[in-house]
Amino acid sequence: GRTLKPYQTHSLDAYESLPEVPISVEDDSCYRYSAMAISNITVPKSPENMQIRLYRCGMRGINLLTDLTNYLMLELGQPMHAYDYKRVSQIEVKKFDQPFQFTTLDDKVRTVGTDTLMICSQGKPVCVAGIMGGQESEIVDDTDSFLLECANFDSMSVRKSTQALGLRTDAALRYEKTLDPEMTRTAVARYLKLLLEIDPDVKVISRFSDCYKKHYPHRVITIDKDYVDRYTGIDISEDRITKTLTDLGFGVTRRGKDFIVDVPSYRATKDVTIPADLIEEISRIYGYDNFAKKTTRAAIHPITMTPEHRLHRGVKNLLAFSYGSHEVHTYIWNDGKTLGQLGLSNKGILHLTNAVSPDIDTIREEMVPSLICVAAKNKTYAQEFSVFEIGSVVTGLDKDNLAIEEKHLGVVLVGQKGSEEKLVMRAKSICESIAKMLRGISFYYTNDESGDVKEWGHPYNAFTVMAADEDPITPDLNVGRIAIVHPSVSAKINKKLALVGIELNMDAIWPLTRIMPKFQEPSRFPSITADITYQVDNSVRYSEFMRIIAQHPSQLLKDTELMGIYEDPDQKDKKAVTIRYTFGADDRTLTSEEVTDAIEMYRGVMRELGAMVEG
């Protein structure tokens, strides 16, 4: 290709005898700050061709001095800023001890925090470093002298300030990607070159003033021919390697088979830091299409899953394969728009400062609301379905004011109106299947009297899921809840649908899990089941039945299971609870008398609850 023309700049050496602009850098986030003062500005507007170029790049023409800073930013990638010299004649770069209000060039008042770097003059802030200038120091129509700034700031500092202020500018976008501090002198010299061509009568009233706080280390990388061949898989000649790197601006010295590569500063501060980066440069110029296509031989090692991941995978498989539920993946923030349409508030502990939309600015504290939104969007695809997800939620803040993040399982079951009881029983079956999979624990359910009524849940038809460890010393633990979704919410989705939600704290369940299963030899003798239906007051809970059974243990009782609850419309103060008892022995077949005695005992002990046995 053709040789590039030399970059035309104006020599700054002629101004070395002029006074210096006072510059004080008090914070390490400013790597370099350069400035020059210029007066006798007689041309207020930039040339038409410059304005056209700026317009085609998405910028509008403002005035000559500002347009030149924008033009140079697009040409060199180096942001610059011009201050009215009457207001800004000296520079201090620092952070403030207390937050304060500052009006930026877009005429908005912003709160500047203690971590934001500011450009000041005589102690007064005039610009947010690397982001946007202040209104009081802007270039106006009658400005006849100005102070030109060309600086380099820490990319992370600029990034954090843009996030805190909610202000993203073209200058900030470039500073965030790490700029070369060596570019400031070149940019000022180029600015002065263009300015003198447009307004020859301007006068430079200061020398190039420079405060260079941080120098990046000079980077030299050594590679050899064998290294290049091993990485590329092809034989690239030594002369071609040298020419490729030289043409790209690298200094190359040959020493035997070694290439000692001097990395220019504008690449060392960007993307060339290790030998593999040089391989990428050589390869892209050689042409990836010129590489021979062949299969790479490499050892593949299986990834060992952690116990927590195995637990999560097992729960997912159980829900997908045994219950036909669909796994979904939602964002960690609430879908505020959909929640609003369903009459639910966008609640959460944490809020994003600079969210793309106000509808996604709140980190969720529960899984079920996210899944209700999914169900609402998929209501037309099936009359009955269920969705689940194991995801992160933030349930509070710790003593260091950091987020308490937990892994929760959320499940939402959708069915026809009137099938609420069926859905609750299915939800209970899911929880019990999970408990069996975990080994060593069991779940039982109590009416939710915690006072922590969830907005999405029915105020009465909600149940706390308690985990009981087989070790009697371990106290029972609240691990979640099952609740019918509030009728006002389900009605907004579809008046013909009913929804039930499950929320389980997987982080609370995990410590109770038994890694090694306990094996029990199955009995060689048949077991006998008996269903007993008790008629009790509506106020009696199923947990009270379990309490009575636990207080009257029997060596013959192997298992109990709730089969159903029936409420007679004609007797609204009564309900029928059916419990299935499984009896058996490991050493013999039970006689009918033994089974009858056991059944009669469990019929009798329930009288403590005022229960009447039906049938």
pLDDT in tens, 36-45: 999 999 999 9
Question: What is the model's pLDDT at position 517?
Answer: 57
Residue at token pair 């169900």: 375
Give residue 339's pLDDT. 92
Is the pLDDT at 268 greater than 90, yes or no?
no
Residues 206 and 226 in one domain: no
Domain CATH code at residue 368: 3.30.930.10
**pLDDT band at 267, cuts 50/70/90?**
confident
212, 231, 263 — which closes off a domain?
Answer: 212
* The last residue of a domain, from among 183, 212, 241: 212
Taking the C-alpha atoms of residue 204 and residue 208, their distance in angstroms, rounded to an integer, is 10
In a domain, 298, yes or no: no
pTM comes to 0.59
Within a domain: residue 342? yes
Q: Is the predicted pLDDT of residue 518 greater than 80, yes or no?
A: no
Residue with tokens 């201090």: 92
* pLDDT of amino acid 147: 95
The answer to whether residue 450 scores a pLDDT higher than 60 is no
Helix (H) or strand (E) holding 221: strand 220-224
Does residue 601 lie within any of the structural domains? yes
560 CB-near residues (< 8 Å, 6+ apart): 546, 549, 579, 580, 581, 582
β-bridge mates for residue 447, sequence order: 463
pLDDT score of 159 more than 80:
yes
Yes or no: say if 472 and 503 are a contact pair by the CB < 8 Å rule. no
Task: Kindly state whether residues 462 and 579 are assigned to the same domain.
Answer: no
- Other CB atoms within 10 A of residue 10 CB: 17
User: How far apart, in whole angstroms, are the C-alpha atoms of residue 269 and residue 320?
Assistant: 49
Question: Alpha helix (H) ranges present in 166-274?
Answer: 170-175, 183-198, 225-232, 238-247, 265-268
> Is 482 in the same domain as 378?
yes
Q: What is the pLDDT of residue 355?
A: 77
- State the pLDDT at residue 521: 78
Of 8-12, 195-199, 515-519, the range with the lowest mean pLDDT is 515-519
Higher pLDDT, 152 or 608: 152
Specify the higher pLDDT residue, 573 or 391.
391
488 and 543 assigned to the same domain: no
Same domain, 378 and 491: yes
Q: Model confidence over 313-328: pLDDT tens digits?
A: 999 999 999 999 999 9
Same structural domain for residues 496 and 373? yes
Helix residue ranges per DSSP H, 322-367: 336-341
My answer on whether 476 and 567 are in the same domain is no
What's the CATH code of the domain at 64? 3.50.40.10
Q: Would you say residue 136 lies in a domain?
A: yes
Identity of the residue numbered 31 = Y
Same domain, 146 and 225: no
Average pLDDT over residues 72-84: 95
Top pLDDT among 551 and 501 is at: 501
Instruction: Decide if 2 is inside a domain.
Output: no
- Total domains present in the chain: 4
pLDDT the model gives residue 471: 56
357-380 burial code (b ≥16 CB/10 A, e <16): eebbbbbbbbbbbbbbbbbbeebe
Please report which confidence band the pLDDT of residue 567 belongs to, taking 50, 70 and 90 as the band edges: confident
Hey, what are 240's tokens? 């071609």
Closest-CA residue to 273 (of 219, 222, 224): 219
3-state DSSP assignment of residue 116:
coil
The half-sphere exposure of 383 on its side-chain side, counting CA atoms within 13 A, is: 5
Question: Residue 241 and residue 612: Cα distance in Å, rounded?
Answer: 94
Closest C-alpha among 32, 41, 149, 172 to residue 88: 149
pLDDT in tens, 179-236: 999 999 999 999 999 999 999 999 999 999 999 999 888 899 999 998 998 888 888 8
Q: What is the mean pLDDT of the chain?
A: 89
Q: Is residue 450 part of a domain?
A: yes
Q: What percent of the chain has pLDDT above 70?
A: 96
Provide the CATH number for the domain around residue 585. Answer: 3.30.70.380
CB of 461 closer than 8 Å to CB of 486: no
**Higher-confidence residue: 359 or 395?**
395
Q: Are residues 205 and 232 in the same domain?
A: no
The mean per-residue pLDDT over the stretch 143-159 comes to: 94
Q: Write out pLDDT tens, residues 28-37.
A: 999 999 999 9
- Partners of 120 in the β-ladder: 92, 125
Residue 18 CB contacts under 8 Å (≥ 6 apart), including other chains: 204, 205, 206, 207
Which of 179, 212, 245 finishes a domain? 212
- Is residue 555 located within the same domain as residue 485? no
User: Is 430:323 a contact under the CB 8 Å cutoff?
Assistant: yes
Q: Is the pLDDT of residue 615 over 70?
A: no
Read off the CATH number of the domain in which 270 is found: 3.30.56.10
6 belongs to a structural domain? no
Both 587 and 499 in a single domain? no
Print the domain residue range for 27. 13-212
**Are 127 and 133 a contacting pair, CB within 8 Å?**
yes
pLDDT tens per residue across span 463-481: 888 887 665 556 778 899 9
Selected residue with higher pLDDT from 24 and 569:
24
Q: How confident is the model at residue 608 (pLDDT cuts 50, 70, 90)?
A: confident
User: Are 33 and 102 part of one and the same domain?
Assistant: yes
Q: Give the model confidence (pLDDT) of 293-314 as tens digits.
A: 777 777 888 888 888 888 899 9
**Helix 64-76 / helix 183-198 crossing angle, nearest 10 deg:** 140
5 in a structural domain: no
**What CA–CA distance (Å, rounded) separates 359 from 355?**
8
| Residue 2: pLDDT over 80 | no
Separation of alpha carbons 594 and 527, rounded Å: 12
